[in-house]
Structure 1
Amino acid sequence: MTAQLESPRPDSESTAGLISRHKQTFGFDLGASLVVFLVALPLCVGIAVASGVPAELGIITGVVGGIVVGCLPGSTMQVSGPAAGLTVLVSSAVADHGLATLGVIVLGAGLLQILLGLIGIGTWFRAISPSVVQGMFAGIGLMIILGQIYPVGGMEQPSETSAKFSGLPELLNSLLTTSTGRSGLAIAVVTLLTMTLWGRMPQRLRLIPGPLVGVGVAALLASVLGLPLETIQVGSLLETVNLVTPDAFGGATSFAVLGPILTFALIASAESLFSAAAIDRMHDGPKTRFNTELMAQGAGNTICGLLGALPMTAVIVRSTANLNAGARTKLSRVMHGIWLLLFVMLLPGVLSYIPLATLGALLLHAGWKLLGVRQVAKLLREQRAEAFVLVLTAGVILGTDLLIGTLTGLVAAVIKTAWEVSRLSVEVEHEDEEDHAQVRLHGNATFLRLPQLQDKLEQLPVTSSAHVDMTPVRHLDLACHQAVENWAEQRRKSDCEVELAMPSSR
């Protein structure tokens, strides 16, 4: 009887403990969501402006990334929204096809991501060479930097890379001689310095994100001094929504539109899954299910496409801020989307105090981080072949576009790996005063090493007999096999004795 009276106590204690833990977890997630919201707000607006679309579209993507993707399975800690790495793609797509077609492109990319996740392609993104990934990010960083220095100077950035280079003298003149250029440069420097110095503040102060402090100081300074700078204009989200209509799908099957769809899907998927891999190494919680996360990103982009908004990816900056702020569950990323929505609905006028030059400075900072100068320098010192792939990828991206540059990098990485894997050692020993030669092959005999193999065999004296031992070879491809047999046949026609020991099939 006593046992029956006392048995509920452990249950009630465990329930109380469970409630306490839930309250504590909610507190951590609430605090983290506010930090991520403060980081995401200026970036959502800045990325939209840099992409040449209304600022509201960037916020819509941030809301969808927080609320919709935040609720879906896949990853727990990473946060999705508009990404700086896609600004060049979006700007180019809008310039070539118009804002109305952007929704179709993003929608198509989202559906393609869902398909890729369903057939299990998500896990394959982990097999891409790090030098290609780093080169892709470096190329994107260079393009962002080259484009965003123009808004700092109060000028509209050119659409072509060549024009961005040729316009640098005019930009420099504007920065040094015009009031708008000098003001924009001063505000950009203030923003970047504030962000840098804030990162050295005590930990309790750094709970307020550096980008927010930088934007706040710059906006206050520009307002007090009355600087002649253009500021952000944000209107109603509902009025900005550009729902995809059936008529907009008319050009979706053309190659001109299919190309951007494929590019958006591949780049957004790569950035999201690379971010997931990095974030997984930073926490001990549930790890990302890559195919499921790819489908979640696809669902988010599908909705963004239907709304005519910007494409989304998982973003490493916001995800890191989420972790560092103490997030425990995916609730933090959902709530950050809610705060974005409430802020723009209730306080849109606050954003009108932020100069466009400040957003340019934020994106210059993001581009510099994507460039990864320290990692590139380390790779140049330690692994020159990998560094070549990185520089090639970044250079082709800067000279052409993201898809061509990334594919070029992938091809270069495959060729480099094939060359390194196909190592072949050819040892030649002469016996009986060069009347008999022993030739031994080790490694992988592939067509890539065929010239080396043929040179060694043709250097043997025609008058000597030869024994070619290929049994240690791990792999013998058809080209090398035929080359050795043809060489042996020619030698036998000259009355030379040739013995071939072929590798056993494995």
Structure 2
Amino acid sequence: MKDPTVLRRDFLASLVVFLVALPLCVGVAVASGVPAELGLVTGIVGGLLVGALPGSALQVSGPAAGLTVLVYEAVREFGLGALGAIVLVSGLLQLVLGALRFGRYFRAISVAVVQGMLAGIGLVLVLGQVYAMADTAQPSGGPAKLAGLPRLAGSVLSGGPPLTAFLVGAATVAVLVVWPRLPARARVVPGQLVAVALATGAVAVLGLPVARVEVRGLLESVQPPGLGDFGDLAGVAAIGTVLAFTLIASAESLFSAAAVDRMHDGPRTDYDKELLAQGVGNTVCGALGALPMTAVIVRSAANVQAGARTRLSRVLHGLWLLLFAALLPAAIGVIPLAALAGVLVHAGCKLIPVRELVPLWREHRGEAVILAVTAVAILVTNLFEGVILGLLLAVCKTAWETSHLHVEVRELTGGRMVAAISGNATFLRLPKILGELEALPRDRPIELDLSELRHLDHACRVALENWALRHNGAGTEPVRFLSPPSGRPVGQPAEPARPAPVRNT
């Protein structure tokens, strides 16, 4: 039986997480272009089901602002019915990855790529929700959103309903910015709930003409995907969307787990089990036609800071969401859309690591470039292509940095010369190697010392052989290798010197 003190702390923490999750679940659903109730469904599954599974004891799962852009584009391109099929297949892929113990490998993703991904999502989220703050339909695609900002500004400044809605959203953002600076006693209630409640009350009292959340009912909103929806996933675009859901949701969840582990001294996360838990959750969410889920750092941090000790707190938060959706569905219908947009604009801004950019540029410029390119690529193209580009850049940067080598030329007695190459000889360094060798005199015997190489790839091996043949063809003594370019692995003791192979031309 659990300690009563632990039970009390978990109970109180669950209420705090519930109050944080409620406006975010609704806001993420509305911003994703789906019924508001589907956000609550995902939050309920994340609490009652995933919350009871092993993996990370204290992090909380639910609909994430980080997937809003991807979900919105998927619904726009494939339809709401196909969303459930996409999420279900993504969940099954997560189960496969978890069963194959791939969870730990997600931690090998470059931090710069992850930060760039979050920054790109934040930029697209802010640009889209600025339109929602003015009760105006947002254009499709990042470039179109940027191009439409002057027209949006003109619409807001002209007055009328767009200005009224924008002021409601701006006031919501202002409350969220000011709330953390208030005394601790005033911050007992989460800022997101306070901001939405104040905006809802002001709109109701003043009778402001702003759009409100459309209520359909919990059961009416749950529509499992049909067989035809799974047939729509055969296209290349749909497969890319499934892979994007799988990889991004998995990476975000496991990076969140690593962050949560640093916040407490309790049990550490089992990454493979956490990936399995996320797969179970997304499979069920897909079967219900709901939003995809990830572990969410905002709710998880609130859970830890509220004093939670076990997974009971996150299970109870799912129960409170279920009771709210079942007993008070009409309460959702009085929330202004502009207020929810303000919450997401604030969340999107927090995804952009503005404070870290300058220190990162000073210390690791390559990482800063990867971050910026990933973010801009997501804004200009889409989430999947932007992340792939960021990963490719990170791999290229790592390959370049690890292929360091040094070429040292020494003169010996008798007019002989030795060119000693040390380090990692890869195709990336071929210009440097060949430049150094081709600058050597053609009328003197040369020995090429490869014994200090840690790695010699095929491209460099062939290039060195060809250089030796060209040098030999100039009429000098044959190039001699102190370590042969083929045969034994690089790093073994050098064999006696011998001429480079001569080929008939």
SS at match of 1:328: coil
1:332 aligns to 2:319 (yes or no): no
- How does 1:401-480 map onto structure 2 within 5 Å? 401-431=382-412, 435-480=415-460
Instruction: Say which of 147, 150, 161 aligns to 1:180.
Output: 161
Q: Partner residue of 1:77?
A: 58
- SS in structure 2 opposite 1:252? helix
Q: Which residue of 1 aligns with 2:499?
A: none
Instruction: Kindly state the Cα deviation for residue 431 of structure 1 after the two structures are TM-superposed.
Output: 4.9
Query: Runs of 4 or more off by more than 6 Å in structure 1?
Result: none
Deviation at 1:441, TM superposition (A): 1.6
Distance (whole Å) between structure 2 residues aligned to residue 163 and residue 254 of structure 1: 25
Aligned to 1:282: 263
Cα drift, residue 46 of structure 1: 0.5
CA distance in structure 1 between the partners assigned to 2:363 and 2:155 by the alignment? 41
Cα pair 1:207 1:325 within 8 Å, conserved = no
Structure 2: distance between partners of 1:410 and 1:66 = 32
Deviation of 1:263 after TM superposition, in Å, equals 1.3
1:205 and 1:277 map into 2 onto residues whose CA distance is 30
SS of alignment partner, residue 204 of structure 1: helix
Task: Work out which of the residue numbers 361, 377, 385 in structure 1 matches 2:342.
Answer: 361
* Paired position in structure 2 for 1:7: none
Q: Aligned residue for 2:99? A: 118
| Residue matched to 1:504 | 491
Answer whether contact 1:195 1:214 (CA < 8 A) is retained: yes
1:237 corresponds in structure 2 to: 218
Q: Cα offset for 1:120?
A: 1.4
Which residue number in structure 1 is paired with residue 304 of structure 2?
323
Give the counterpart of 1:291 among 258, 272, 281. Answer: 272
Counterparts of 1:309 and 1:485, CA distance in 2? 61
CA contact (8 A) 1:268 1:312 kept: yes
- AA partner of residue 136 (structure 1): M
Letter in 2 for 1:407: I
C-alpha distance in structure 1 between counterparts of 2:26 and 2:303, whole Å = 19
Does the aligned pair in 2 maintain the 1:462–1:496 contact within 8 Å? Answer: no
CA contact (8 A) 1:439 1:469 kept: yes
Output the amino acid matched with 1:504: G
Please give the residue correspondences for 1:52-451 in structure 2 after superposition, counting only pairs within 5 Å: 52-431=33-412, 435-451=415-431
- Quick one: which of 466, 470, 480 aligns to 1:490? 470
Deviations 1:461-501 (A, max 9, x none): 11122222221211111222222232223333412353321
AA of the residue aligned to 1:80: S
Separation in structure 2 between the aligned mates of residue 169 and residue 490 of structure 1, nearest angstrom: 63
Deviation, 1:442, is 1.8
The one-letter code sitting in structure 1 at the alignment partner of 2:191 is G
Residues 449-469 of structure 1: per-residue CA shift (max 9 Å, x gap): 011000101101111222222
Report the CA distance between 1:352 and its aligned residue. 2.7
How many aligned residue pairs are there? 486
CA distance, structure 2, for counterparts of residue 504 and residue 183 of structure 1: 73
Counterparts of 2:321 and 2:284 in 1: how far apart (Å)?
17
Shift of 1:435: 3.3
Q: Secondary structure at the match of 2:181?
A: coil
Q: Secondary structure at the match of 1:39?
A: helix
CA apart distance, 1:262: 1.4
What is the CA distance between 1:221 and its match in structure 2? Answer: 1.9
Aligned to 2:497: none
**Between 169-178 and 244-253, the greater mean CA deviation after superposition:** 244-253
Shift of 1:298: 0.8
Letter in 2 for 1:481: R
CA deviation vs aligned residue, 1:356-376 (integer Å, no higher than 9, x gap): 111111111111111111122
> Take 2:65 and 2:329, find their aligned partners in 1: how far apart are those partners?
22
Alpha-carbon distance, 1:276 to partner: 0.8
Decide which moves more: 249-258 or 365-374.
Answer: 249-258
Identity of aligned residues (%): 53
For normalisation by structure 1, the TM-score amounts to 0.93
| Counterparts of 2:40 and 2:130, CA distance in 1 | 23
Displacement of 1:247 in angstroms is 3.7
Q: Is the 8 A contact 1:103 1:306 kept in 2?
A: yes
Instruction: Give secondary structure in 1 for the equivalent of 2:419.
Output: strand
Q: Distance in 2 between matches of 1:450 and 1:362?
A: 52
Q: TM-score, normalised by structure 2?
A: 0.93
Unaligned runs of 5+ in 1: 1-18
Could you give the per-residue CA deviations for residues 325-377 of structure 1, whole angstroms, max 9, x where no partner exists?
11000000000011111112222232333211111111111111111111223
- SS at structure 1 position matched to 2:11: helix
CA shift for structure 1 position 257: 2.5
Please give the alpha-carbon distance, in whole angstroms, between the structure 1 residues aligned to 2:465 and 2:225: 64
Calculate the aligned-residue CA RMSD, in Å: 1.6
Mean CA deviation greater in 240-249 or 78-87: 240-249
- CA separation in 1, counterparts of 2:115 and 2:141? 23
> Aligned partners of 1:113 and 1:295: how far apart in 2?
6
SS at 1:438's partner residue?
A: strand
Whole-Å separation in 1 of the counterparts to 2:492 and 2:215? 69
Q: 1 CA distance for matches of 2:338 and 2:362? A: 36
Summarize the Cα distance change of 1:184–1:250 in structure 2 as closer, same or farther, 3 Å threshold.
same
Could you tell me how far apart the structure 1 residues matched to 2:228 and 2:448 are?
70
Structure 2 counterpart of 1:481, from 449, 453, 461: 461
| Distance in 2 (alpha carbons) for counterparts of 1:377 and 1:106 | 37
User: 1:200: how far off?
Assistant: 1.4
